Structure 1
Amino acid sequence: MQSTALSLPTERFSMTASLSLPRIMRIGRGAADELGEVITGLGLRRPLIVTDAFLVGTGAAERLTVTLKDAGLHPGLFSDTVPDPTTDSLAAGLKALHDHEADAVIGFGGGSPVDTAKALALLGVQGGAMRDHKAPRVNSGPALPVIAVPTTAGSGSEATQFTIITDSATDEKMLCLGPAFLPLAAVIDVELTMSMPPRLTADTGIDALTHAVEAYVSRKANPFSDSLALTAIATIGRHLRRAYVNGADVPAREAMMLAATQAGIAFSNSSVALVHGMSRPIGAHFHVAHGLSNAMLFPAVTAFSVHAAPSRYADCARALGAATDADGDVRAAGKLVDALHTLCRDLDVPTPRDYGIDQDTWTRLTPLMAEQALASGSPANNPAVPTADEIQGLYAQIYAP
């Protein structure tokens, strides 16, 4: 019988792990009602809410504003964030930040508003261009405090020291990292996710699963991130399909919200790997939502990688419920690949061709996408570190398998 104990060589844990988490986390139904108390307790008075037009339209942004005013705060509002934020989209946000004389930034929404809030918090203090802060630079500050209030269960951005901003001039989806981007506080309220439609539920859920699996198999894995990653994998395995089929399933929504945060903490304190490295260029060039581009890649990239760390992928398979202790590691790792194919089929994940991406354009941009994937640094954390040619081969494979 195979053990589910940690199976990385012990030398991978011989170095000290540098861990970072939000100072304050409020998690549970109704937690958003406590946002004013959280901000007041931090000694802040003039937060800028960074959100999108959808949350303004639903009234959610107004309700949050009222909550803050009732706490004696003076909030401002910037609602012109865009999906997959760009350097151009930050300009209006910076003006709003300075006009309001904000002393904090609240990222309210999915990954894009939270990522925008993180970028504004840094640029609002330091100025300059966002491209000056992309990886491999590690940004330690200074920056305004960020308070994250997520409304989707997937990105985990509320608990990570990363932000993703697309360079408007080059279409490069830039990974920017460092403690400067880590929210000071995160307020995680499942009630804010109840209106997520099935497609968004699926894409963000697979995004969270990708975070957890990549954190666990990453070359930067450590015992702290491992425990959170495996817990998140197990929770997502039990609840993602339920939340997708029935958005009113409150226990499933609650479980997915917590798992997304756990996976976010896991990869923030480990790393993501090849899936994310290849996913970002797809989003930048073809405007595919981040979680969906991850889902398009996840089974094929996992199949490419399992031979390099079968015991680690086997642990993921067992946590997901795709394999048991009776399965040897190689067999269990193979079952993980099969399970990911099945999950993507059950959640109606399209191929790039089915999504409507032109094959000639896809083929023409493949060398550039491979170059950008490698430049992000994420593929170097993968158990099997790919060449540019291998990445191009994977892009070709997923287009219309």
Structure 2
Amino acid sequence: MNSISSVYMPKAIFYGYDSFKQLGVESRKLGTRALIISDKVMEDLGYVDHCKMMLNEEGILCSTYLGIDSEPTDLFVDEALEICKQNKCNIIIAIGGGSCIDTGKAVAVLATNGGEISDFMGNKKMADKKAIPLIAIPTTAGTGSEATDVTVITNTRNDVKMMIKQAMFLPEVAIVDPTLTLSSPTHITSATGVDALTHAIEAYISRRSHPFTDTLALSAIKLIYENIEEVYKNGNNIGAREKMSLGALKAGIAFSNASVCLVHGMSRPIGAIFHVPHGVSNAMLLPAILEYSKSACINRLAAIGRFIKPELSNYTDEEIANYVVQEIKKLCLNLNIPNMKEWGIKKHELDKVVGKMAKDALASGSPSNNPRIPSEEEIIELYQLCFDYDMSEGINESIK
């Protein structure tokens, strides 16, 4: 008999064109005093004012925190939490990229459970009191944070990205409107798109995957694979944007329930120490780590290949697995994903901290979900390999 599996997602998910308009009505069901957590870019685009207008129409008082200007940190969480307490907010609206939504999750939990966000790292402290209701509204097709019970916050005291996964961090409502992603610039479109693709692939090859997450992950991979280059080249293609948003949403639900693997484990230290955006650091690592993991998940990679390209069915599992890895490399090349050296990281700087990075990666727990579980020494070697990794190598050998 199969072991029992579980699936958790927001109580309500609204997606599709103009689903943003549901904000006021859904907020009225949850609270009367809202804290909008976002950033200056969202304010400049008018999204914050639009939120206020819809909330005010429903008689909901609004406060704002717009201090997020990088990957989320404990400092942002503390600042937003203080505003939440001062204004006695009982609902949180997080609109923007994953940084805004992850900050919103942390504030929602701390407002009712107390303590600092670092207390929850490694489940040392469990959130046992219901969080303030959170409505998550992504403006990128990438992190999937609107549908996960995970928040990733950088601890500024020790430069560690804390990956915290507990049920109370799950948003109450997700609103996924592809029209909001039209404002996403090219470099963010590519980085967040590969981030979503990484979520889907890792959810599928994870040791914790199960049939329900497999269905979501495969569907997400296909949606993202078939549309990411189009939205990168033609950002106004709303049809492709919609498919990317749906793919990122499905990938988020999949990885939240099946977990991520080695790419994410190694990606977080790059972001924490070198301040590389999460989507970019994932993309820097994905091809090389798939090559490293391939021997332990040939059948899974082959299943991905057959799903996205049914005409490959007559090839062997190994041939199709190789094809999938080469296609990912080609995709990253076409999206102008840099390696660490091209990003501007200096080799001597990497060498000084690579030991800490490997330890932090292992401590996150994600590498233990990988089909091939690495040692600390192997992770160090992978960081060194990825420093100046050549995405173009071998892509012409891919089967047609």
Q: Which residue of 2 aligns with 1:108?
A: 95
Q: Residue 32 of structure 1 is aligned with which of 20, 45, 52?
A: 20
- CA positional deviation for 1:354: 0.6
The equivalent of 1:197 in structure 2 is 185
1:171-186 to 2 correspondence within 5 Å? Answer: 171-186=159-174
Partner in structure 2 of residue 234 of structure 1: 222
Task: Report the AA paired with residue 239 of structure 1.
Answer: N
Residues 328 and 373 of structure 1: CA distance in aligned 2, closer, same or farther (over 3 Å): same
Cα-Cα RMSD: 1.3
Aligned to 1:5: none
Q: CA deviation at 1:237?
A: 1.2
Whole-angstrom distance in 1 between the partners of 2:110 and 2:370: 31
Q: Percent identity?
A: 40
What corresponds to 1:398 in structure 2? Answer: 386
Aligned counterparts of 2:201 and 2:374: Cα–Cα separation in 1: 18
Check the 8 A contact 2:113/2:127 in 1, yes or no. Answer: no
Match of 1:64 in 2: 51
Partner of 2:111: 124
Partner of 1:279: 267
> Structure 1 length as normaliser, TM-score?
0.94
Q: 1:327 aligns with which of 312, 315, 339?
A: 315
Equivalence for 2:134? 146
**In the superposition, relative to structure 1, how do residues 321 and 92 fare at CA in structure 2: closer, same or farther (>3 Å)?**
same
Distance 2:311 2:339 in 1: 26
Q: Counterpart in 2 of 1:290?
A: 278
Match status 1:98 vs 2:85:
yes
Q: 1:227 to 1:29 in 2, by over 3 A?
A: same
Q: Which amino acid aligns with 2:69?
A: V
- TM-score of the pair, normalised by structure 2: 0.95
Structure 2: distance between partners of 1:150 and 1:350: 25
Contact 2:97 2:139 in 1 (8 A): yes
- The CA distance in 2 between the partners of 1:337 and 1:295, in whole Å, is 13
State the Cα deviation string for residues 129-157 of structure 1 (Å, max 9, x = none).
21110135584432211110110000000
Report the alpha carbon displacement of residue 94 of structure 1 after superposing the two structures with TM: 1.1
2:28 and 2:72 mapped to 1: Cα distance?
A: 29
Q: Provide the rounded CA distance (Å) in 1 between the counterparts of 2:307 and 2:35.
A: 40
State the secondary structure of the residue aligned to 2:61. Answer: coil
TM-superposed deviation, 1:75? 2.0
Which residue of 328, 344, 352 maps to 2:332? 344
The within-5 A match list for 1:299-378 is 299-321=287-309, 324-378=312-366
DSSP 3-state at the match of 1:264: helix
Counterpart-to-counterpart distance in 2, 1:306 and 1:140: 37
Is 1:224 the counterpart of 2:206? The answer is no
User: Aligned partners of 2:340 and 2:138: how far apart in 1?
Assistant: 28
Residue 276 (structure 1) shift? 0.2
2:33 paired with 1:46: yes
- Structure-2 separation of matches of 1:317 and 1:203: 22
Give me the whole-angstrom Cα distance separating, in 1, the residues matched to 2:163 and 2:294. Answer: 25
Mapped to 1, the partners of 2:303 and 2:112 lie a distance apart of 43
Q: Tell me, in whole angstroms, the C-alpha distance in 1 between the residues paired with 2:211 and 2:154.
A: 33
Q: Alpha carbons of 1:88 and 1:41: their partners in 2 closer, same or farther (altered >3 Å)? A: closer
Offset of residue 66 of structure 1: 0.4
**Counterpart code for 1:106:** I
Q: Is the 8 A contact 1:122 1:180 kept in 2?
A: yes
2:284, 2:386 within 8 Å by CA — same for their partners in 1? Answer: yes
Q: Counterpart of 2:273 in structure 1: which amino acid?
A: H
For structure 1, which segment, 30-39 or 366-375, has the greater mean C-alpha deviation from structure 2 after superposition?
Answer: 30-39
Cα 1:322/1:346, change in 2 over 3 Å: farther
1:50–1:105: 8 Å Cα contact kept in structure 2?
A: yes
DSSP 3-state at the match of 2:312: coil
